Amino acid sequence: MKSWLTLIGILACTGILCASGASLAQTQGKKTPAASAATAPTKSDCLNCHGPFDKLIEASDKYVAPSGEKGSPHRYVPHDSKKDEDIPECTHCHTAHSLDPLPAEGSIDRSKVNVQWCYDSCHHEKNFTSCKECHQ
């Protein structure tokens, strides 16, 4: 009877860990890049492999928006922030890829990534003019 209770306890804890996106590797201090299959990945999950965020900003500084403007689409919101909580969720613009197996190098079509979320959220004129120029 005691072994059944132990097994039930272990299964319950495992279920809780999986539902929260944690894994055995995380609980042992190792980084894992993915949330569980039951949850959408968070920016923390993405940045475990693709970060830090400031490196993404720098790496994408040659992006050309549909308006023709150049600059990194990776920005804190509000833009003058440097707080981790002000990093937008990656899934606003990017589709999460599988982690098992990891996608092959170059297999993700980055040309389909756009800045529509920026336009829908703030830049309603579909350009990157500072809000302060029109809105006081």
User: With helix as H, strand as E and coil as C, how does the chain read?
Assistant: CHHHHHHHHHHHHHHHHHHCCCCHHHHCCCCCCCCCCCCCCCHHHHHHHHCCHHHHHHHCCCCECCCCCECCCCCCCCCCCCCHHHCCCHHHCCCCCCCCCCCCCCCCCHHHCCCHHHHHHCCCCCCCCCHHHHCC
pLDDT for 110 equals 82
Where in the chain are the domains?
31-134
Q: Report the predicted TM-score, pTM, of the whole model to 2 decimal places.
A: 0.65
Please, which pLDDT band fits residue 127 given cuts at 50, 70 and 90?
confident
pLDDT tens-digit series, residues 51-106: 999 999 999 999 999 889 999 999 999 999 999 999 999 999 999 998 889 999 88
Q: Does the pLDDT of residue 122 top 70, yes or no? A: yes
pLDDT tens-digit series, residues 20-34: 444 333 333 334 444
